Amino acid sequence: MTGRDAVAGAPPNPFVGPRPIEKGQPIFGRDLEIAQLYDLLCAERVVLLHSPSGAGKSSIIQAGLIPRLAELFDVWRPVRVNLPLPSGSAAGINRFVRSCNLGFEAGVPKRLQRDQDAISEMTLAAYVAGRPQRPSAPRNIVLIFDQFEEALPSIRLDSRQSAGSSPSWESCSRITRTSGLFSRFGKTI
């Protein structure tokens, strides 16, 4: 027997390395964090999950939280808010909302997807209200914004931060709670 034969017959390694564990894959040693995050998300309308890069946020969300939330909620695929506007875009399109709308639309079956230009011009509320729903989907929706801090670099969050520098997580948390930042997703900025 060669080393390659021994590896081929071995069970899959549960430690995937520097990539997130995906939905449907097992996640080990995070039951307490998943339960706490689930409880917090059920109790609050907005939850900001932050930790250093590589700490496992995406793995906890994908492999632990989403499957649990899907029992009671219609959980849409996580989206990023970082797409740039294409050149020649209509004036007044909010690039962050456009990123969200296009990301959420990618989770809709191709035959039901709407025109990208039309959904690019919608507010997030209008998009959510008009998005095709699965007939069996729960009424309550969970939206997950991954890498949300990418929407914040142009915002000066506190007097100690220089313009253009990365915001601190404490500042991100404070501004999302107190400034109405999420309301910006429904307005042109």
- In this structure, is residue 12 part of a structural domain? no
- Residue 158 has a pLDDT of 47
pLDDT, mean over the chain:
76
Residue 130's domain comprises: 28-82+90-186
- In this structure, is residue 21 part of a structural domain? no
What pLDDT digit, counting tens, does each position of 52-68 carry? Answer: 777 788 888 888 889 99
Q: What domain count does the chain have?
A: 1
The more confident residue out of 64 and 151 is: 64
Q: Which residue has the tokens 């649990």?
A: 68
- In this structure, is residue 1 part of a structural domain? no
What pLDDT digit, counting tens, does each position of 70-117 carry? Answer: 888 899 999 988 888 888 877 788 888 899 999 999 999 999 999 998
- In this structure, is residue 127 part of a structural domain? yes
The more confident residue out of 102 and 18 is: 102
Q: What is the DSSP string of 106-160?
A: TTS-GGGPPPHHHHHTS-HHHHHHHS---TT--SSEE--EETGGGG-TTS--STT
